[in-house]
Amino acid sequence: MEEKKRKLRIDTRVATMALIVSLAIWGYANYQLKKEERFPIKVEVETPEDFSLVRLSNYGVIITVEGPERVLDAFARLVDQVKLKKSVTVEKNDLKPRLVLDKSWLQAPDYILSNIVVKEFNPPYVDLELSRKRRKTKKVTAVTEGSVEFGYKVEKIVIAPTEVKVAGPEKVLDALSDVLTEPRSINGLAANKKWQFVPIQSKVRVSIDGVEQTATIDCRETVEVEVFVVMEEASRLLEDVEVAVLLPSGFPYPAEVREKSVNLMLRGAKLDIERLKPEDIIAYVDLRSMEGTTITPGLGESKLYKETVSVILPDGISLDESQPVPQVTVQLKRP
């Protein structure tokens, strides 16, 4: 019996070892299974300190690589972080070199680089145009993003200094009318805001020889940007505002306004104008100056007067001066 148990334990160990070896072989074979894939890759070029890049023939290429499936899957997941990058030198004053791409350009994690073979670059080269850096003074334009709080507006933007010195290719600097600051958000602003040490954007869009392209400039100066925000004014037509009558004390004649209400064109802060309701306004005609007025017998039972409407408005709200002040017809009747 003991002999049988011993054999059973040995058989179990052998079976377990065989399973482990099989899984290892399967895993190794699966890891070594190779295939080809194509990926779009960004191209970057670093120029010598005294030179600028005027033109790069293509900012991306298609790379064909071969490697284990798992490595290529990792490559696909990280493709946005992988790039072709090279520091170039200027040889024999050649400012328009053609550079042939190879694996030494490829920047990727080591486990990818060590397990792939680069089969092809398409196109297999990049053409550059370089220029010695020049320095010129350019006007600065501030860039903002977003919108100020509802009911407010940007009154003005002040930049100091208004001009900075930038370095770059002569053709690029000649094509630039101004340089832009890095953007600053004004989203939700309801008061003035100041930013210090705002850098200048290094990437610019210019047209050189009729071709729109992106170029790089260098500016070591920063600027101060201040945004001035004020309440936005607006006009609004408020309709059906009732008109009251203000009479002298003891006035003997009943008075009636034929137009029961008027429309008023008002102006003020946009927030206040939007919230305004007809009951927030008192519109009236002042007849106190008619004290002592009589209706002559024989000329009818009433008399008509054309009167200008007076208005009591909330603080900050006024009648829009571009529009005429409403008038109403007041009828005085015999008692």
Model pLDDT for residues 177-209, shown as the tens digit of each residue: 999 999 999 999 999 999 999 999 999 999 888
Structural element, H or E, at residue 65: strand 60-68
Q: Which pLDDT does position 295 carry in this prediction?
A: 62
Mean pLDDT value of segment 9-21: 61
Give the Cα separation of 206 and 4 in Å (integer). 88
- Whether 330 shows a pLDDT value over 60: the answer reads yes
- What is the architecture of the domain spanning 233-333? Beta Complex (2.170)
Same topology, domains 2-130 and 133-231? Answer is: yes
Judge whether 32 and 68 are in contact, CB under 8 Å: yes
Backbone angles phi, psi at 55, to 5 degrees: -150, 140
Question: In the predicted model, is pLDDT for residue 139 greater than 80?
Answer: yes
Instruction: For residue range 258-291, list pLDDT tens digits in order.
Output: 888 899 999 999 888 888 888 899 999 998 887 7
Give the bridge partners for 98, in sequence order: 127
Domain positions in the chain are: 2-130, 133-231, 233-333
pLDDT of residue 300: 55
First to last CA, the chain: 135
Give residue 93's pLDDT.
Answer: 83
In this prediction, residues 302-323 reach a mean pLDDT of 89
Torsion, CA 214, CA 219, CA 224, CA 227, rounded to 10: -10
Q: Pick the more confident residue, 174 or 30.
A: 174
Is domain 2-130 in CATH 1.10.3720.10, yes or no?
Answer: no
Q: Do the Cβ atoms of 68 and 27 come closer than 8 Å?
A: no
How far is Cα 166 from Cα 134, in angstroms, rounded to an integer? Answer: 8
Instruction: Report which of residues 5 and 330 the model is more confident about.
Output: 330
CB-based contacts of 264: which residues, under 8 Å, 6+ apart? 237, 238, 241, 281, 283, 311, 319, 326
pLDDT tens track for 26-80? 555 454 567 899 999 999 999 888 888 888 888 899 999 999 999 999 999 999 9
Rounded-to-integer distance, Cα 293 and Cα 302, Å:
12
Task: Say what the alpha-carbon torsion angle 19, 20, 23, 28 is, to the nearest 10 degrees.
Answer: -140
- Can you tell me the mean pLDDT for 89-106? 90
CATH class label, 133-231: mainly beta
Nearest to 134 by CA among 92, 89, 175, 90: 175
Torsion over CA: 298, 299, 300, 301 (sign)? negative
Residue 65: Cβ-neighbour burial (10 angstroms; 0-12, 13-18, 19+): buried
What are the Cα distances from residue 231, in Å, to 177, 198, 271, 273? 32, 26, 8, 12
Sequence-ordered list of residues with C-beta below 8 angstroms from that of 294, at least 6 positions apart, any chain: none
Residue 59: predicted pLDDT? 87
Q: Which two tokens stand for residue 149?
A: 């709080």
pTM: 0.56
Q: What is the mean pLDDT of the chain?
A: 87
Q: How does residue 171 score in pLDDT terms, banded at 50, 70 and 90?
A: confident
Region 237-247 average pLDDT: 90
Amino acid, res. 80:
D
Q: What does the pLDDT read at residue 298?
A: 46
